[in-house]
């Protein structure tokens, strides 16, 4: 007889769980035979006693199988099904760029993205700033657009990995979110349910990262690579810097503008380009579309320079209900915030440190993110022209430009941004954009 409390007891006592134990427990989470208290106790036991790689694989697969698993073989796609996932950051709009780039190189990218969480921006909120864009089509429409366009970015659906949603909600209120084993299963169960053939993981490091240290970021990367490959999903992790915003802007419609400028070649910020290329190149290699990352980068740059990547983005937006001319005329569709104010550097010097998390929270304070899940978002607000680490500024020189709904919100943000920047008399050592690759 299956007794959920016995599974909790075994993990409480640091015993290994069998595949049957884990499958039964996850099944009970979905059908309601496992109570919220038992899920909470299980999560805390895992937090303190961890899981082996085999247990993590079983836990991930059980969550994947708790709902629908997308099948792509019957659609006869002429290329591999690939995706990228990030642990979240500020000014990180790589999904909007690399999805169309990979699609232009022969990949198919069914990207199921999340909303903003805490200080980090969400790809879904950025796309929701586009008038008419449907972030929640039915699965049939989603698969059709992926087949026809090569790329579709939508929100999480109720059909995929429903066990994860219940587990995550309980972890969120029981101080067990930080468990690497459970983070791994949460991320990979949804990616496996999407029917992927290859996954590039972007693990952030720095003051704006989810993980608190470089060592913990490496630990998460190693776990995701080992469990992903153990579950039959070719997975590579790239550790990238989040000691400063990745793009020179943060905010939903502002990042859509930045994405369009990047794809069309109007502006391609160097660090954003380096990280986007690194992740997209590994996607192509995982999918067998390139022999190595050098070959992959050449193909990706060609897709940008020819306009093929911008065309894929435009087709995706149009197919999901957005304006057909967004790429050609973004000003026609993306509104501006009414208050635009520069932030003056409080003193002269080289930018020595940026509290990236504080900048993300400043965007939330402006209304560009959520304090509570039910909050509505102001898509037009945010920050642009952010000065980077290592740059020299004069006192009074702008270090950012605030886009706000009202003057009071803008004035509050000025102090937050000035506090987030630290200055020194000599130029600091700037961290690399890409630290290492784990595969």
Spatial neighbors of 438 by CB under 8 A, at least 6 apart, are: 218, 221, 222, 225, 236, 237, 238, 239
**pLDDT, average across residues 286-313:** 98
State the pLDDT at residue 177.
Answer: 85
**pLDDT, average across residues 160-171:** 92
CA-based nearest residue to 108, from 134, 73, 139: 73
pLDDT above 90 covers a percentage of the chain that reads 92
pLDDT tens digit sequence for 60-115: 999 999 999 999 999 999 999 999 999 989 999 999 999 999 999 999 999 998 77
Q: For the chain, what is the domain count?
A: 3
With respect to residue 434, please indicate whether it lies within any of the assigned structural domains. Answer: no
State the pLDDT at residue 368.
Answer: 94
Positive or negative, the CA dihedral 178, 180, 185, 186 is positive
Distance CA 149, CA 316 (A): 6
**Boundary-marking domain end, from 36, 64, 92:** 64
State the pLDDT at residue 359.
Answer: 97
Distance CA 367, CA 291 (A): 45
With respect to residue 252, please indicate whether it lies within any of the assigned structural domains. Answer: yes
With respect to residue 432, please indicate whether it lies within any of the assigned structural domains. Answer: no
Say if residue 266 is in the same domain as residue 396.
no
pLDDT above 70 covers a percentage of the chain that reads 99
**pLDDT, average across residues 259-288:** 98
Boundaries of domain holding 420: 336-424
Count other Cβ atoms within 10 Å, centred on residue 148: 11
pLDDT tens digit sequence for 30-46: 999 999 999 999 999 99
The answer to whether 55 and 17 are in contact (CB under 8 A) is yes
CATH code assigned at 27: 1.20.970.10
3-state secondary structure 346-385: CCCEEEEEECHHHHHHHHHHHHHCCCCCCCCCCCCCEEEC
Say if residue 276 is in the same domain as residue 349.
no
Q: Is the pLDDT of residue 414 over 80?
A: yes
Distance CA 439, CA 428 (A): 31
- DSSP assignment of 188-206, as one string? HHHHHHTT-SEEEEEEEES
State the pLDDT at residue 83.
Answer: 98
State the pLDDT at residue 423.
Answer: 97
- DSSP assignment of 2-22, as one string? --HHHHHHHHHTTPPPPHHHH
Q: Is the pLDDT of residue 1 over 80?
A: no
Sequence-ordered strand ranges (E) for 227-360: 234-241, 339-344, 349-354
- The 8-class DSSP code of residue 210 comes to S
Angle between helices 308-319 and 139-149 (to 10 degrees): 160
Q: Kindly tell me the burial class for residue 96, based on how many C-beta atoms sit within 10 Å of its own C-beta (0-12, 13-18, 19 or more).
A: buried
Count other Cβ atoms within 10 Å, centred on residue 318: 18
Distance CA 327, CA 261 (A): 9
With respect to residue 91, please indicate whether it lies within any of the assigned structural domains. Answer: yes
Assigned token pair, 218 = 């490496």
Say if residue 249 is in the same domain as residue 183.
yes
E strand or H helix that includes residue 64: helix 53-64
CATH code assigned at 380: 3.90.1170.30
State the pLDDT at residue 246.
Answer: 97
Cα-based distances in Å from 335 to 70, 342, 408: 36, 19, 20
Which residues are part of the catalytic machinery?
83-86, 123, 171, 186, 190-191
With respect to residue 34, please indicate whether it lies within any of the assigned structural domains. Answer: yes
pLDDT band at 217 (very low <50, low <70, confident <90, very high): very high
Distance CA 18, CA 151 (A): 38
Q: Is the pLDDT of residue 118 over 70?
A: no
Say if residue 106 is in the same domain as residue 85.
yes
Say if residue 218 is in the same domain as residue 138.
yes
With respect to residue 331, please indicate whether it lies within any of the assigned structural domains. Answer: no
pLDDT band at 52 (very low <50, low <70, confident <90, very high): very high
Say if residue 377 is in the same domain as residue 261.
no
CATH code assigned at 138: 3.40.1030.10
State the pLDDT at residue 142.
Answer: 96
Distance CA 227, CA 223 (A): 6
Distance CA 221, CA 238 (A): 8
Assigned token pair, 91 = 């000014």
**pLDDT, average across residues 395-416:** 97
| CA-derived radius of gyration, the chain | 22
pLDDT tens digit sequence for 353-391: 999 999 999 999 999 987 777 788 999 999 999 999 999
Say if residue 96 is in the same domain as residue 208.
yes
pLDDT band at 120 (very low <50, low <70, confident <90, very high): confident
**Boundary-marking domain end, from 267, 290, 319:** 319
Contacts 24+ apart (CB under 8 A), 289-294: 289/79, 289/80, 289/102, 289/105, 289/106, 289/107, 290/105
With respect to residue 436, please indicate whether it lies within any of the assigned structural domains. Answer: no
Chain centroid to Cα 118, Å, comes to 13
Say if residue 60 is in the same domain as residue 77.
no
Say if residue 153 is in the same domain as residue 277.
yes
State the pLDDT at residue 287.
Answer: 98
Say if residue 310 is in the same domain as residue 366.
no
E strand or H helix that includes residue 123: helix 123-128
With respect to residue 430, please indicate whether it lies within any of the assigned structural domains. Answer: no
Say if residue 195 is in the same domain as residue 271.
yes
Say if residue 32 is in the same domain as residue 83.
no
pLDDT band at 2 (very low <50, low <70, confident <90, very high): confident
Beta bridge partners of 393: 349
């Amino acid at each position: 007889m299956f007794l959920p409390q016995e599974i909790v007891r075994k993990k409480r006592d640091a015993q290994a769980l069998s595949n049957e134990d884990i499958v039964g427990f996850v099944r009970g989470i979905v059908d309601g035979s496992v109570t919220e208290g038992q899920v909470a106790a299980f999560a805390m036991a895992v937090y303190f006693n961890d899981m082996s790689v085999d247990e993590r694989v079983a836990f991930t697969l059980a969550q994947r199988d708790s709902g629908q698993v997308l099948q792509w073989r019957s659609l006869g796609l002429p290329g591999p099904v690939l995706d990228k996932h990030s642990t979240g950051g500020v000014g990180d709009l790589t999904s909007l760029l690399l999805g169309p780039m990979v699609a232009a190189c022969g990949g198919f990218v069914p990207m199921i993205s999340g909303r903003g969480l805490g200080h980090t921006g969400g790809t879904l909120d950025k796309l929701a700033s586009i008038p008419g864009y449907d972030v929640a089509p039915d699965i049939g429409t989603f698969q059709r657009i992926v087949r026809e366009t090569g790329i579709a970015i939508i929100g999480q659906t109720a059909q995929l990995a429903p066990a994860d949603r219940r587990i995550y909600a309980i972890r969120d209120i029981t101080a067990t979110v930080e468990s690497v084993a459970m983070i791994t299963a949460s991320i990979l169960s949804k990616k496996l349910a999407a029917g992927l053939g290859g996954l590039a993981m972007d693990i952030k490091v720095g003051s704006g990262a989810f993980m608190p240290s470089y060592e913990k970021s490496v630990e998460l990367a190693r776990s995701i690579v080992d469990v992903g490959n153990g579950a039959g999903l070719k997975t590579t992790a790239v550790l990238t810097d989040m000691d400063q915003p990745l793009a020179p802007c943060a905010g939903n419609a502002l990042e859509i503008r930045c994405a369009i400028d990047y794809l069309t070649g109007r502006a391609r910020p160097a660090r954003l380009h380096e990280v986007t290329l690194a992740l997209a190149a590994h996607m192509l290699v995982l999918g067998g579309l390139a022999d190595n990352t050098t070959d992959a980068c050449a193909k990706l740059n060609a897709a940008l320079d020819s306009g093929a990547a911008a065309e894929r983005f435009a087709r995706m937006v149009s197919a999901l209900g957005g304006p057909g001319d967004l790429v050609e005329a973004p000003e026609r569709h993306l509104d501006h915030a009414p208050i635009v104010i520069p932030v003056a550097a409080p003193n002269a010097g080289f930018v020595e440190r940026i509290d990236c998390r504080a900048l993300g929270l400043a965007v939330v304070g402006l209304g560009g993110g959520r304090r509570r899940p039910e909050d509505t978002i102001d898509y037009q607000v945010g920050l642009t022209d952010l000065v980077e680490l290592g740059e020299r500024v004069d006192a009074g020189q702008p270090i950012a430009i605030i886009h706000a709904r009202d003057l009071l919100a803008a004035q509050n943000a000025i102090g937050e941004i000035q506090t987030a920047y630290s200055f020194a008399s000599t130029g600091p050592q700037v961290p690399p954009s890409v630290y290492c690759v784990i595969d």
